[in-house]
Amino acid sequence: MINYFRRLFTLMRENKLFSSIYIVGTAVAIASVTIVAMLFYVRIAPFYPETNRMRTFYMGTSHFMSEEENDMKTWFYSHKAVDECFRKLKNADVVTATLGNRNSCCIATAGDGEEFDACLNCTDCEFFRLYTYRFVEGHAFSKTEFEGGERVAVITDRVGHRVFGRESGFIGEPIKINNEVYRVCGVVEEASRLANNAFADVFLPYTSCSSYDSENPELPYYGDYTIKMLVSPAGQEEALRKELEEYVGRYNSYYPKLSGNDYEWVLGEAPRSFFQQGFDEGGGKRGNSIVWTVFGLFLLIAAALIVVPAINLSGMVAWRMEERLPEMGIRKAFGARRSQLLWQVLKDNFSLTLVGGVFGLVLAWVLMAVLRKMLLSNLFEMPTDTFIPGEVFFAPVVFVCAFCFCVVLNLMAAFIPAWLSLRRPIVKSMNETR
């Protein structure tokens, strides 16, 4: 290993211009690929608290269609739908319902503390089974507290610090939320807004909200609840869908007649996987097609970012091989095989590629830190103060992607010019002048 690094430093010192350009070119290519990998990783990979992304399914919006009026009503689901249908599903390990989308709320201490806006999520106990929030104090609201509609709240550690002005000891403290006093029952470690399905600053039992069980008499399952489900692998998705189709059939055979209209519940593409939820903008694609679309797009972008640098570096390697032809001719004359010489050239260039790859990773982290606000606001429509989790910055899959592209870049840039040069006859190689 020591001899390897000695040879690497010697190679860089003897060919400063070639080595510098090669390393810089590699660093830029690897940095570009790494940034793209990070951006895709944020969208598809599990990280706190959305560690169950691959098993999470979403009901999305509800669709109620009337053939008589040629009309479709689209919104979310009612509390009646949650209790009569979704809570009873046998093929879902966890079912959680959230009242409305994330709303803004006004928070202050129970006294005369300064008020500030925060993100509110009115949900149920199952939410904390689906999303693996880490509790630094206390616990989630219990089933008894939820069913009793008690005014309890789970807050993030950042909200606790801001409201109470200390680092801990928030359990049991009163907190004002929208001018109503709640009791803090749990404190969770704050998540990144990039976990957009789970993120909130404050979590309340939706049973503590007024009119949480209101319904539309004409459309009993039409309401303000969003539904998320945790589904086991190995084909349970299809079983869940068939079970939901049975509930749809029961609804359509009973409620339209009861309400006096012909609006029927249309299941459509629900339940939708995480891939569909994150990448399919209502295009109707399902399951594996979304997975291949996502990874196909990633590979296409990565290939575009690596082919151009590889062509440029290949030209440099060809120029360098022209300079080394006399050396190669002499080594051939002393019995060196073409495969040995080719392997030596590839190994030397791969050493430079690895150095460039390390600089590329560092450059990617620096660029992500500097350009974070622009990337978050333009690509993810997130507030500029959103932080990127360390699990994304230092994800093993990102390192693996970067290393693989280092290998590909080295092979593309060095193999062909080296192989063509080494095919020349020994005499011609030895007669080449610098």
- The pLDDT score that the predictor gives to residue 314 is 74
- The DSSP 8-state label assigned to residue 139 in this structure reads -
Say if CB 318 and CB 370 are below 8 A apart.
no
For residue range 136-159, list pLDDT tens digits in order.
999 999 999 999 999 999 999 999
Q: Which of 17-26, 62-71, 320-329, 396-405 has the lowest mean pLDDT?
A: 320-329
Q: Which range scores top for mean pLDDT: 88-97, 321-330, 348-357, 406-415?
A: 88-97
Q: What is the pLDDT of residues 251-264, one digit of tens each?
A: 999 998 887 788 99
- Judged against a pLDDT cut of 90, whether residue 64 lies above it is answered with yes
Q: What is the pLDDT of residue 99?
A: 93
Residue 326, pLDDT > 60, answer yes
Tokens 């403290």, located at residue:
173
Q: How far is CA 182 from CA 1, 153, 178, 389, in A?
A: 63, 6, 10, 30
pLDDT tens sequence across 170-215 = 999 999 998 899 999 999 999 988 888 899 999 999 999 988 998 8
| 354 pLDDT tier (thresholds 50, 70, 90) | confident
**CA–CA gap between residue 420 and residue 434 (Å, rounded):** 18
Contact assessment for residue 44 and residue 278, using Cβ atoms and an 8 Å cutoff: yes
In sign, the C-alpha dihedral spanning 311, 316, 322, 325 is negative
Average the pLDDT over 408-412 and give the result.
Answer: 72
- Report the distance separating Cα 319 and Cα 317, nearest Å: 5
Is beta strand 180-188 parallel, antiparallel or unpaired with respect to 152-156? parallel
Length of the chain: 434
266-325 pLDDT, tens digit each: 988 888 888 777 665 444 444 444 445 555 666 676 666 667 677 777 777 777 776 666
Residue whose token pair is 């309400």: 259
Residue environment code for 292-318, b if the CB has 16+ CB neighbours within 10 A, otherwise e: eebeeebeebbeebbeebbeebbebbb
Tell me: the pLDDT tens digits for 214-225? 888 889 999 999
Question: What average pLDDT is seen over the chain?
Answer: 81
Q: What is the DSSP letter of 86?
A: G
Predicted local confidence at residue 417, as pLDDT: 77
Which residue ranges make up each domain of the chain? 2-49+289-431
CB 240 within 8 A of CB 92: yes
pLDDT for res 120: 95
Higher pLDDT, 154 or 236: 154
